[in-house]
Amino acid sequence: MTKTKVLRTMFSAPDMLLCMGAYDALSARLAEQAGFNCIYLGGFAAATSMLGVPDLGILTLPEMADHIRRIAAVTTKPIIADADNGHGNAVNTARTIAMFEAAGASGIHMEDQVLPKKCGHVAGKVLVPTEDMINKLKAAQQARSDKDFVIIVRTDAIAVDGLDAAIDRAKRYADAGADALFLDAPESMEHLDRIGKELASTGKPLVFNAASTGKTPEISVEQCRAFGFHVILYPIEPLLAAMDGAKAVMKAVLETGELTSVRHRMANFTQIKNAVGFPEAEALDIAFPMTK
């Protein structure tokens, strides 16, 4: 079964789909080894880890496609990738789908912001007209070469025009054929309750962004299920953990000149060797040695 078919099957299955965010190839390996069945590549984590820049539309389409390609090479799990706003109009969107498919993504989410976009959990977002977004969705549908490639449509309207407008947009995107719906940055339990209840009639899976930003209430997987969500994204949590751990190590070296106080927060050399496949590589080297 192809990765795209696997992802589409998981979207239609009754179980909650937990998608762990990876910011590089190592974190993708760790997510698979931990037991996650889906890898999520968000734009915030990609821009931060690859370029050290904010998620404000700076990361380009080729850079994101290369990011997907590197991660797809080290995981057997399907990848959902952040396609921003399709990187432009319908023509750009078609190219985005083609490049993401070729790079190894099994699905994307695409938002209804203007170019350049902003991170969904920061202020100052501007939306395109609903009809323009529907046209980009149609272009994306036409561009995919694999009918199982999943297209999630995201609206950022909650922060711009309010929840009513966001729900209205989501319903129109569902009617236009979106495979799943993603209303980013709901601000209360009431928002979450209304999203689940008012979009249930669309029959589309609902995506919840569990990003640790403080914008959206932190809820459990079971609470997500009760609200009617089917897919949960954890976009930046491994990145936040890595940042905190790295800062602690650096601080310890500068202040004390040793690592004893932070050693418990660090993996050992054997663990990281195992994570990236040293035992398998060494076995191959022994089995097929070079003569000189």
Catalogue the active-site residues.
40, 55, 82, 84, 109, 111, 119, 154, 187, 209
Assigned fold of 3-236: TIM Barrel (3.20.20)
Which residues in the chain land under pLDDT 50? none
Helix (H, G, I), strand (E, B) or coil at 70: helix
The C-alpha angle 60, 186, 200, rounded to 5 degrees, equals 105
What's residue 158's pLDDT? 94
Question: Which of 177, 232, 175 shows the shortest CA–CA distance to 209?
Answer: 232
On whether the CB atoms of residues 82 and 42 are closer than 8 A, the answer is: yes
Q: What are the start and end residues of each CATH 3.20.20.60 domain in the chain?
A: 3-236
Write down the pLDDT at residue 120.
67
Q: What is the predicted pLDDT for the residue at 292?
A: 77
pTM here is 0.95
Question: For residue 124, what pLDDT is reported?
Answer: 77
pLDDT of amino acid 291: 85
What is d(CA 169, CA 156) in angstroms, rounded to the nearest whole number? 10
pLDDT for 57:
87
262 touches 249 (CB < 8 A): yes
Q: What is the pLDDT of residues 206-223, one digit of tens each?
A: 999 999 887 899 999 999
